[in-house]
Chain A
């Protein structure tokens, strides 16, 4: 079974530039999560999709972050403009359904460095 695919793996940008991350979840997984993990901390949920609808985006800094999941499959997360404090690993995860007892699968993450 193919896992969650993310790209790029690494990205370095200057502050105020824009950046986009892509996630392809496991086929058939209805729930998709984007997490931000700052060095030394646990991942923080940015946004959760159920199919192509948003379930939770309460911690997404909407003035600069946006995410979409067109057609309920792939998802993109965009930052515009980036700030130094956005340097982190951005993780995508998916699960079959959005219930607690469904296992989540994680991608390798995209390591973003804002300079």
Chain B
């Protein structure tokens, strides 16, 4: 079973700040999802990455497969970025294993 640890669990920041959320997992995988969950329960897949770095708008995700670690960065954060961000390594036949999520609040 893959043990997933995310940090921080809660983060409150001011608008415009650079945000970093970290994820470590215990079992080697070949891909990892970063997910965003807004109040109400809907989950949106932000990234799926297998190596290196991906960028989408103000969001950047990196992964180091050997070190079993991934990070999600938000540049120029905005109140609409307030959500729960969930790291989910694995997938496929083994299913996704989810972290508990990072509750992010961006204050104007």
Q: Please, which residue of chain B has its CB at the minimum distance from the CB of A46? A: B95
Chain B's interface size range is: 20 to 34
Partner of B41 from A37, A100, A101, A102 at Cβ < 8 Å: A37
Q: Is A82 among interface residues, defined by CB-CB distance under 8 A? A: no
**Which of A55, A93, A111 is the one whose CB lies under 8 Å from B93?**
A55
Contact A106–B86 (Cβ < 8 Å)? no
0 or 1 for each of A41-55: is its CB under 8 Å from B? (1 = yes): 111110010100001
B-contacting residues of A (Cβ < 8 Å)?
A: 31, 33, 35, 37, 40-45, 48, 50, 55-56, 89, 91, 93, 95, 97-111
- Chain B residues in contact with chain A, CB under 8 A? 4, 29-31, 33, 35, 40-45, 48, 50, 86, 88, 90-96, 98-101
In the complex, 17 of the A-B residue pairs with CB atoms within 8 angstroms, ordered by the A residue number, are: A41-B100, A42-B98, A42-B101, A43-B43, A43-B86, A44-B98, A45-B96, A89-B41, A97-B92, A98-B92, A101-B48, A102-B91, A103-B45, A106-B45, A108-B41, A109-B40, A109-B42
